[in-house]
A and B are shown apart, each in its own frame.
Chain A
Amino acid sequence: MSAGFFKPNVSRSVFGNVMVFLFLLVFGVFFAFPIVYAIITAFKPMNEILIFPPRIFVRNPTLSNFIELSQMADSFWVPLTRYIFNSVLISAAGTLGHLLLSSMAAYPMSRHAFPGHKWIKKVVVMSLLFTASVTYLPQYVVMSQLHLIDTYGALILPALQSSLGLYLMMNFMGTLPEEMLEAARIDGAREARIYWSIVMPNVKPAWLTLIIFSFQGLWNNTGGSFIYSEELKVLPAVMAQITAGGIARAGVSSAAALIMMVPPILIFLLSQKSVIQTMSTSGLK
């Protein structure tokens, strides 16, 4: 194997490297195939979708699915721009709010010895288990009592209090040198000031990680039973309606999916180095 592909190392056999390469190739193809297939399907004309035996690759690529998608968008009750507005608003407000609230909480949680911090940390760690789908129903009950169902808040507020974000931020802030904070304290800075001007500028990798995790969750959230008014629905809900049309809509659905997956992929690519840096502090003791 060429040196560019593998790390040169004495404890690595060539045979082993070949096996590693083959293993990754096989599984890589399995993981990439459905998405590559969706991308190809987005450019397939209808007569290549309804064909037997099915072909994987496209012979006459076309943009007709994207055109049909925009025509469908014109026939919606609510203009497509409204769904886009909803999705962008919810994703942006939820992501920024989550970043702000969880970093504000993470600073004292990781650095201050206030009474109760150990106890709160235990609850936060335990809540990592309770993913959104597990707490879905009890959350629905509480939100409906608060009259939040069918408002933007029903999608934004749960994202703000994601304990995964708080946990990752706490661990990352825990690695900052204490001398840095102490120096600011000696200069007379208050804790809120230290948080904003000292801690925040130094945890940018963690910001980016929270942004991608939060954005990806919000951007792909269909709203479920939390939103039922058409004018408050988001893009994934529209996409679910399109894909429900079955195989005749395979091309249009794929075109929609292709457009939808671009933002999270771009954000991940831009932040992936920071994500890895943050996740290296994610260990649980």
Chain B
Amino acid sequence: MKKTVAQSKPPRTALGGGAKRHGLLYRMGRYKESYLLIAPFMLLFLLLTVIPVLASIGLSFTSFNMLSMPRFVGFQNYERMLLDDSIFFTVLKNTLVFAFLTGPLSYILSFVFAWLINETGRYLRTFLTLVFYLPVLSGNVYFIWAFLFSSDSYGVINGVLMSMGVLQEPVEWLINQNTILAVLIVVQLWMSLGTGFLTFVAGFQGMDKSLFEAGAIDGIRNRWQELFYITVPSMAPQLMFSAVMQIGASFGVSAVIQYLAGFPTTQYSADTIVTYIMDVGTTRFEMGYATTLAVFLFALMMVTNTIITRLIGRFSTD
């Protein structure tokens, strides 16, 4: 049986009846085995995800250098971030540029590529999925962009542009503050077709074929009408999941920047909040201030996530 895109809720087993009239502890006791099974994962998850995020909130009100005990300083770190730190506003601007340019663009590209790939036959589809996913799959191969954008005339981009006569002398793509952000955005887009893209590819393939047949009878004439009237409305869960993954990725851009543009970049011209946090935390060991920046980033991401998922929720059919 072919699974349709819209899934029904999985049936849940109420072990031992699970009647509401029993006390909470009684009911929990009934599910001993469930708790035992989730325990190993959840303990690690608590230790390495939940506690770090919650502890940052606490540490953001302290001065902490990892050697002595954290010392409570009230809102000092927040005052410093908002009033005294001009670098913060540079990296905030860069983060927003990255997130709001590469985020939606990559989201749209993921969707469009997945859609068009789905228009092709089976073998071409498999091949193209690999081609678009390859930059993510091959991990550290983005170093090649450093050679493509190399600042001397041996760099492919400079070399080609110079031999065509477009440039007279080589451009220092990754040093020049005017070009660095643009180059990083291109590279980031190149390696952003990740989980969300695969979700869309799968979403298109899993579409209930009978919907299209019914659509054709109802007068759907071309692929655009099919996309907007049939596919998009029934892909709401995929659109939602992909958006969450996209937000996580767009605000987390770091490795590419550090490798291609340096750590920190020239006058922080291409640093984002994430790389600035690493700079403040792991090189300067100002953990109190670094966690303050992290708390700000978490808040920013959660607000963005709420807005985006509400927007997508509006288009959802159910």
Within 8 A of B (CB), among A217-265: 219-220, 222, 224-225, 236, 239-240, 243, 247, 250, 253-254, 257, 260-261, 264-265
> Per-residue 0/1 for B126-153: is the Cβ within 8 Å of any A Cβ (1 yes, 0 no)?
1011111111111111111111101011
Count of A-B contacts judged by CB separation below 8 Å = 366
- Nearest Cβ in chain B — how far from A249, in angstroms? 9
Whether B274 pairs with A20 at a CB distance below 8 angstroms is no
- Nearest Cβ in chain A — how far from B44, in angstroms? 4
Question: Nearest CB to that of A52 among chain B residues?
Answer: B153
Prevailing SS type, chain B contact patch: helix
CB neighbours of A277 from chain B (8 A): 202
> Per-residue 0/1 for A161-204: is the Cβ within 8 Å of any B Cβ (1 yes, 0 no)?
10110100001011110100110010000111001000000000
Alpha-carbon distance A260/B18, docked complex (angstroms): 51
Whether A138 pairs with B55 at a CB distance below 8 angstroms is yes
Whether A112 pairs with B116 at a CB distance below 8 angstroms is no
B181 interface residue per 8 A CB criterion: no
- Nearest Cβ in chain A — how far from B213, in angstroms? 10
A275 interface residue per 8 A CB criterion: yes
B183 interface residue per 8 A CB criterion: no
Are A141 and B287 also in contact (CB < 8 A) when A20-B116, A37-B156 are?
yes
Alpha-carbon distance A32/B135, docked complex (angstroms): 8
Whether B12 pairs with A111 at a CB distance below 8 angstroms is yes
> Per-residue 0/1 for A128-154: is the Cβ within 8 Å of any B Cβ (1 yes, 0 no)?
111111111111111110100000000
Total chain B interface residues with beta-carbon distance under 8 A: 129
Chain B interfacial positions (CB closer than 8 Å to A)? 3, 5-7, 9-15, 18, 24, 27-28, 30-31, 33-38, 40-42, 44-45, 47-53, 55-56, 59, 66, 109, 113, 116-117, 119-121, 123-124, 126, 128-148, 150, 152-156, 159-160, 162-163, 190, 193, 195, 198-199, 201-203, 205-206, 212, 216, 220-223, 225-226, 235-238, 240-241, 244-245, 247-249, 251-255, 259, 274, 277-278, 281-282, 287, 290-291, 294, 297-298, 301-302, 305
Chain A interfacial positions (CB closer than 8 Å to B)? 3-7, 10-13, 16-17, 20, 23-24, 27-28, 30-32, 34-35, 37-38, 41, 49-54, 56, 101-102, 104-105, 107-115, 117, 120, 123-144, 146, 157-158, 160-161, 163-164, 166, 171, 173-176, 178, 181-182, 185, 190-192, 195, 213, 216, 219-220, 222, 224-225, 236, 239-240, 243, 247, 250, 253-254, 257, 260-261, 264-265, 268-269, 272, 275-285
Other A-B pairs beyond A34-B145, A284-B240, 17, CB < 8 Å: A5-B124, A10-B216, A16-B223, A35-B134, A105-B41, A115-B27, A124-B45, A135-B52, A141-B281, A157-B44, A161-B47, A178-B13, A222-B140, A243-B146, A257-B140, A261-B138, A283-B236
